[in-house]
Amino acid sequence: MSVARFVHDTLPQRVRFASGEAAGQLAEEIKELGVSRLMVVAARKWLAEQVAGGLPVAVWHHDVVMHVPVETAVRAREVAAEHDVDALVCIGGGSATGLAKAVALTTGLPIVAVPTTYAGSEATNVWGITEEGRKTTGVDDRVLPRTVVYDASLTRTLPVGMSVASGLNALAHCVDSMWAPRADPIDAALAEEGIRALNAGLPQVFADPVGLAGREQTLYGAYLSAVAFASAGSGLHHKICHVLGGMFDLPHAQTHAIVLPHVLAFNGPDAPEAERRIAAAFGAPSANEGLAALRSEVDAPVALRDYAMPEHGIETAAGAVLAAVPAGNPAPVTLVSLTALLRAAWEGDLPR
């Protein structure tokens, strides 16, 4: 990766980090925006009320579904219009953020995001909507939240298994940002620091899910990972997970957590600089060993078949991924190698 010649876009967004202060920080942001008819988008009512209870909310919207089915997006847009809202506040994981983005895409309404998982959607200008088993994504600056309020204390209620999977989803943003189509030295620097923070934070979250220090490190790493990913674009790992998620309605974070070691082992030998940087960020002799050590420490999910992906889906998915392999992927990709990778991920046969 040459530092002599590259083009890097930085997305315009304010980020506020303040553990235990989401309500106050959000109120300041709403005041500054000068808005007074909020639509609060959140799957978890109690979480939303805790954060936005004191704000001028025109409508609370809890009809949130993972991967944003088109009917859900249409309903949310109707609700926004019926209540004549002037801003969107999403409080929750990538699914709540994704729904707010679907509304912003057609209305141009500003979003303030309060993330409570490590998915990272809040720091990207990427939207996604699913229709008949196919997820369509696009890039549009209207969906980029104006401000993100990060409050690690809100993530303490995220169950440990989901926290681990979501943190590994963030780690996958970092790893893919090393070789995705628009990867540049700034992305790699962000990704390296993201891996370091996630590797430090996740074991603490696993050992002490209500402790704040591990949650803060993990949230910080998740933000860095998303910024790197937004700039670098989708690499092979994201293309695989995108196809699997849309085709088999698999849980997003767990799919990423399972597929990541296979893609790292596949691309690593053909991407020596990425391999060196990832290993350094883990503080391990190799990238694969660093990831394996973290995964075993946090009891990471291992097999796609545990999430109800059908075995016959391996072949169908391999064909669909092959058609979407990003240009410039470090390792050459064939139908045979992809099928072997997906089979190993399906069976839970971890790379050695």
Query: Could you list the residues that contact ligand NAD (CB under 6 A)?
Result: 43-44, 47, 66-67, 92-96, 98, 116-117, 119-121, 124, 126, 128, 154-155, 157-158, 162, 166, 252-253
Residue closer to ligand NAD, measured from CB, 38 or 66: 66
Residue closer to ligand NAD, measured from CB, 129 or 279: 129
The H helix count followed by the E strand count for the chain is: 13, 8
Structural element, H or E, at residue 342: helix 335-347
What does the DSSP assignment read for 288-300? HHHHHHHHHHTT-
Q: How far is the CB of 184 from ligand NAD (least distance, A)?
A: 18
**From start to end of 83-209, where are the E strands?**
87-92, 111-115, 126-131, 134-139, 147-150
CA distance 327 to 53: 47
Q: How far is the CB of 34 from ligand NAD (least distance, A)?
A: 27
Q: How far is the CB of 238 from ligand NAD (least distance, A)?
A: 9
Residue closer to ligand NAD, measured from CB, 198 or 279: 198
Residue closer to ligand NAD, measured from CB, 157 or 337: 157
8 C-beta neighbours (distance < 10 Å), count: 11
Are the C-beta atoms of residues 257 and 165 closer than 8 Å to each other? yes
Are the C-beta atoms of residues 190 and 228 closer than 8 Å to each other? yes
Q: How far is the CB of 161 from ligand NAD (least distance, A)?
A: 10
Residue closer to ligand NAD, measured from CB, 35 or 226: 226
Residue closer to ligand NAD, measured from CB, 137 or 334: 137
Residue closer to ligand NAD, measured from CB, 52 or 279: 52
Q: Which of 191, 158, 164 is nearest to 277 (CA)?
A: 191
Q: How far is the CB of 125 from ligand NAD (least distance, A)?
A: 8
Q: How far is the CB of 345 from ligand NAD (least distance, A)?
A: 18
- Specify the 3-state DSSP secondary structure of 60: strand
Are the C-beta atoms of residues 251 and 159 closer than 8 Å to each other? no
Q: How far is the CB of 59 from ligand NAD (least distance, A)?
A: 19
Residue closer to ligand NAD, measured from CB, 19 or 157: 157
Q: Which of 88, 33, 30 is nearest to 59 (CA)?
A: 88
CA distance 274 to 44: 38
CA distance 214 to 302: 23
Q: How far is the CB of 280 from ligand NAD (least distance, A)?
A: 25
Structural element, H or E, at residue 315: helix 313-322
CA distance 234 to 333: 16
Are the C-beta atoms of residues 104 and 110 closer than 8 Å to each other? yes
